Copies of this chain bind each other. A is one copy, B any other.
Amino acid sequence: MSTGYAAGVSTPPLTRAEQKERTRRAILDAALDLCEETPLAALSLRQVAKAVGIVPTAFYRHFASIDDLGLALVEESLATLRALLRDVRRGDARTYSAIIDSSVEVLVDHVRRQRRHFAFIARERMAGPPGVRDAIATGIGLFERELASDLSALPGTEDWAEDDLHLLSDLIVSAMVTTAERLVDTASRSPEEAGVTATARAQLRMTLVGAAHWHHR
């Protein structure tokens, strides 16, 4: 048998689906880069297409509009983080302190990995186009509801009123949003990052202490 054909060395050609996914990814990445300078609302489809190296009409094979592209960025920023935080709460950690520490660790790690995504969310949350602002608010609302639901299953909240659970989970999620905004502006493994992380942990503990005593009043 001839050895001239080195199987596994040559790269097999991409399937049409793989090529499409690769271009979609390139569009999302180009938008994240461009948005560091230009707000999404001011971004043109032409700019994105040029950065990716495709003709403007090819953009529409992937997204219906720039806003639609923005919604995809919101979704991929928040969905994974939400699943990771849920896993922490439904995992092995048995004390509130352990859950807080693991949640903050997951948040720091995730924002560090997806810094451009969270810088995008931080900027567009209040300043973006209405559809994108709504999607971010809806995504954050989902964090809040899932957390309230998980809190109701943790020991110590058996006889809590629904309203109090939401009051607490909203307070926690707001503190996480503030923490993520601060992390976006700090370098990985810097003293500032350590400070932001320590503050978040202590403040979440303080909040839960408040909730515990609040409930018993």
Determine the chain B residues whose CB is within 8 A of the CB of A41 once the complex forms. 39
Chain A interface helix/strand/loop/mixed: helix
Q: Number of A residues contacting the other chain (C-beta, 8 Å)?
A: 32
Taking the closest CB of chain B, its distance from the CB of A98, in whole angstroms, is 17
Determine the chain B residues whose CB is within 8 A of the CB of A207 once the complex forms. 171, 206-207, 210
Q: How many monomers of this chain does the complex have?
A: 2
Is A149 an interface residue when CB atoms closer than 8 A count as contact? no
Instruction: List A181-216 residues whose CB lies under 8 Å from chain B.
Output: 181, 199, 202-203, 205-214
> Which of B126, B168, B171, B211 is A123 in contact with, Cβ under 8 Å?
B126
Binding site for B on A (CB under 8 A): 39, 41-42, 122-127, 167-168, 170-171, 174-175, 177-178, 181, 199, 202-203, 205-214, 217
